[in-house]
A and B are shown apart, each in its own frame.
Chain A
Amino acid sequence: MPIDFSFTEDQELIRKAVKEWCERNLTLEKVREMDTKGEIPREIWKGLAELGVLLPTVPKEHGGAGVDWVTHCIIGEEIGYADITIATAAAFIVVEGAWGFTLDKYCSEEVREKYVKPAIRGEKFVGIATTEAGGGSDVAAFKTTAKKSGNEWIINGEKMYISGTEECKKYGGGYWILARTSPAPPEAPHRGMTAFFLPFDTPGVEITKRFEDCGRMAISTGGFKMEDVRLPDEYRLGEEGKGFYYTMEGFDNARLIIAASAMGVTQRVLEIGIDYIKQRKAFGWPIGKFEGISFELADLWTEMEATKALVYKTAWMNDLKYKGKFSAREVSKYISMCKLKAPHLALKACEKVMIWHGAYGYTKECPVEMGWRGVMSYCIGAEGAANIQRVVLVRELLGPDYVAYKKLKE
């Protein structure tokens, strides 16, 4: 009987602690206020740090809690359950949390001391900035360059649609960036790229844009340019020329946590829906008696449980990946399924529950609309568009030759 779906006692207690913390600090009223004001209060960020959930997968010897990916998913799920706009989960559990782990894995001691450890304490923000104005999915086509000069790198380029630029500027911190460091052969454009950690206060870095987003209003989205930015070699992440692969690893970790937090949103929104359809009457019955509604609930709940099972299985695989028991590509396949499914399911749940609520559901008096607006961010992109997940799946299911952008062999 090797299969076992139970969580450990520690995991159950961590879920309970995060849930209780959210019930006290991240109520739907608070989330509405954050969504309206367009910021996550500092005390929420600090509170998450005190709760110990920032960058939780970073190993203990590097200042983290050293928990596994299953636990990181539990945290993501609970934060998503509380803040259905996904702003809190996106900023702190996905971007900082999952990318923070990957950053810690490849960074120098200097970056760890100056940025990773302060991020765990909630003092600085660490994020991911790969997307450029020309696109986000085609990572290998990015135009940012880094040229070596002595012990330094001179970086030029512009990044766009980046989460947390205002917070990073205000509180300090920096970003994982990807830059071309050598020309790539035409058949392998992803080669010749190197990852760096860019402290946001480095001379030559300038915010060029703050976007007015549709949802997840409490975390900023912006763009910044880098003009002759000089970074010491200590700020290079991992080996020169391997940045693309490290970045894909970071994306995988982040996509997993996105899926987990989207499951939290799904469950919360469906619970809001259940309360409403049992209470709201039409034609003499609670509207939950009408199968047009109750069957939608049954279908959505089934999809949610199936997706949760996929997400936690994948989290388990991701843990074993870091122990060498699954290949990164095998786990990527599962992570892509999670990222393909979970955010869209959350969006569908928000849409249906809004419709169940009728006109009230379309107002800001009902919380669900802010989930609908927020979750859309996970569906459009946020660590990879749905079609990119499908490309990964096609590559794994049919073979690399079937990837649409690759030329078929004669």
Chain B
Amino acid sequence: MKIVVCAKYALDVAELKISSGKPVLEGARRKVSDIDKNAVEAAISIKEKYGGIIKVLCFGPISAKEGLKELLAMGADEAYLIEDPSEGMLDTAATVEALALAIQKMDGFDLILCGEATIDGYTSQVGPRLAERLKVPQITYVRSIKIDGNNVIAERDLEDVYQTVKVPMPLLITVTREINTPRIPNLMAILKASKKPITIWKIEDLGLSKDKLEQISSLHTLSLEGFTVERKRIIIKDKPVDEAVQELISYLLKEKVLGV
């Protein structure tokens, strides 16, 4: 089984600082997007059961090498990094173009796994667009995966219902956070990961140029605002329960937490 996992070296939004209403991007910490780690864990589980090879692929800054090394320590076999010439300013269409050409440069695939969305952009577009670009079927929002011969049986989480589908390989799957808990690599695995290969491609290696990617990229970020949440710290005390509940409800209605 040949598995490719797409992983983003995303901004660690939980650590992002806001200064004068703007997120401070300079020197901001990055990490492998959480849900992409679920995708890597899903790939490792499949490999443990059915054998195969796992390649992780990232379109991002050169510093993403560190994130890729973590995925290698988790259990991926090879890593590929396409250096993003734009410092993260390209949209999902351009990202998908780079990922698609990189995957075509590899020796085929049975399964492509992505997270359902990334923790910073959260567009949920890369997986579906990539499947379209590579002309393979896709199963999105997957919470469990079984392999049945040449087919994948996957359970989709559609919030109100779970839908089980059967699709022949090759195909692309996007997974949810609920599919698994990504493993933490142990010391020996981290030390061994240094010996696994990380291939670095420039976009020119894929027959692309910065201009071409900018042409494909139709989304332009005009401004980026940050906001901070202040707690209200309202305390309701020394009242009978019924009265206190009513008061709490009135606050929640006022704040539009509850709607009528």
* B80 → A minimal CB distance (Å): 18
A31-58 near B? 1/0 per residue, CB < 8 Å:
0000000000000000000111100100
Give the complex CA separation of A56 and B191 in angstroms.
12
Q: Is A385 an interface residue (CB 8 A)?
A: no
Closest to A20 in B: B184
Question: Which one of B65, B66, B187, B194 lies within 8 Å of A17 (CB-CB)?
Answer: B187
Knowing A9-B66, A13-B73, A16-B70, the reply to whether A21 touches B184 (Cβ < 8 A) is yes
* B13 → A minimal CB distance (Å): 17
Closest to A66 in B: B191
Residues of B contacting A50 in the complex (Cβ-Cβ under 8 angstroms): 186
Residues of A contacting B193 in the complex (Cβ-Cβ under 8 angstroms): 13
Residues of A contacting B194 in the complex (Cβ-Cβ under 8 angstroms): 9-10
Interface of B (DSSP majority class)? helix
Give the complex CA separation of A211 and B45 in angstroms.
47
The answer to whether B70 and A13 touch across the interface, beta carbons within 8 angstroms, is yes
The answer to whether B185 and A13 touch across the interface, beta carbons within 8 angstroms, is yes
Q: Is B69 an interface residue (CB 8 A)?
A: yes
Question: Which one of A9, A10, A51, A65 lies within 8 Å of B184 (CB-CB)?
Answer: A51
Question: Which one of B69, B73, B187 lies within 8 Å of A56 (CB-CB)?
Answer: B187
Give the complex CA separation of A10 and B188 in angstroms.
10
B199-239 near A? 1/0 per residue, CB < 8 Å:
00000000000000000000000000000000000000000
Closest to B66 in A: A9
Q: Is A67 an interface residue (CB 8 A)?
A: yes
The answer to whether B191 and A17 touch across the interface, beta carbons within 8 angstroms, is no
Q: Is B190 an interface residue (CB 8 A)?
A: yes
Give the complex CA separation of A65 and B192 in angstroms.
10
Give the complex CA separation of A9 and B69 in angstroms.
9
Interface of A (DSSP majority class)? helix
Closest to A8 in B: B194
B123-159 near A? 1/0 per residue, CB < 8 Å:
0000000000000000000000000000000000000
Residues of B contacting A349 in the complex (Cβ-Cβ under 8 angstroms): none
A145-167, CB < 8 A from B:
none
Give the complex CA separation of A12 and B73 in angstroms.
13
Q: Is A323 an interface residue (CB 8 A)?
A: no
> Which of B73, B186, B187, B194 has the most chain A CB atoms inside 10 A of its CB?
B187
* B231 → A minimal CB distance (Å): 8
The answer to whether A12 and B184 touch across the interface, beta carbons within 8 angstroms, is no
Q: Is A126 an interface residue (CB 8 A)?
A: no
Residues of B contacting A10 in the complex (Cβ-Cβ under 8 angstroms): 190-191, 194
Knowing A9-B66, A9-B69, A10-B194, the reply to whether A17 touches B188 (Cβ < 8 A) is no
Q: Is A24 an interface residue (CB 8 A)?
A: yes
B147-190 near A? 1/0 per residue, CB < 8 Å:
00000000000000000000000000000000000001111111
The answer to whether A12 and B187 touch across the interface, beta carbons within 8 angstroms, is no
* A274 → B minimal CB distance (Å): 14
The answer to whether A65 and B66 touch across the interface, beta carbons within 8 angstroms, is no
Give the complex CA separation of A20 and B73 in angstroms.
14
Q: Is A237 an interface residue (CB 8 A)?
A: no
Give the complex CA separation of A51 and B70 in angstroms.
14
Question: Which one of A9, A24, A53 lies within 8 Å of B187 (CB-CB)?
Answer: A53
Q: Is A14 an interface residue (CB 8 A)?
A: yes
* B14 → A minimal CB distance (Å): 12
The answer to whether B190 and A24 touch across the interface, beta carbons within 8 angstroms, is no
Closest to A54 in B: B187
The answer to whether A65 and B188 touch across the interface, beta carbons within 8 angstroms, is yes
Closest to B74 in A: A17
The answer to whether A67 and B187 touch across the interface, beta carbons within 8 angstroms, is yes
B66-85 near A? 1/0 per residue, CB < 8 Å:
10011001000000000000
Knowing A9-B66, A9-B69, the reply to whether A14 touches B190 (Cβ < 8 A) is yes
Closest to B194 in A: A10
The answer to whether B184 and A24 touch across the interface, beta carbons within 8 angstroms, is yes
10 A–B contacts, CB within 8 A, in A order:
A10-B194, A13-B73, A13-B193, A14-B190, A17-B187, A24-B184, A52-B187, A52-B189, A65-B187, A65-B191
- Starting from the known contacts A10-B191, A17-B184, A67-B187, 4 additional A-B residue pairs (CB-CB under 8 Å) come to A13-B69, A13-B185, A51-B184, A52-B188
Binding site for B on A (CB under 8 A): 9-10, 12-14, 16-17, 20-21, 24, 50-53, 56, 65, 67
The 4 A-B residue pairs with the shortest CB-CB distance in the complex, in nearest-first order: A52-B187, A52-B186, A65-B187, A13-B190
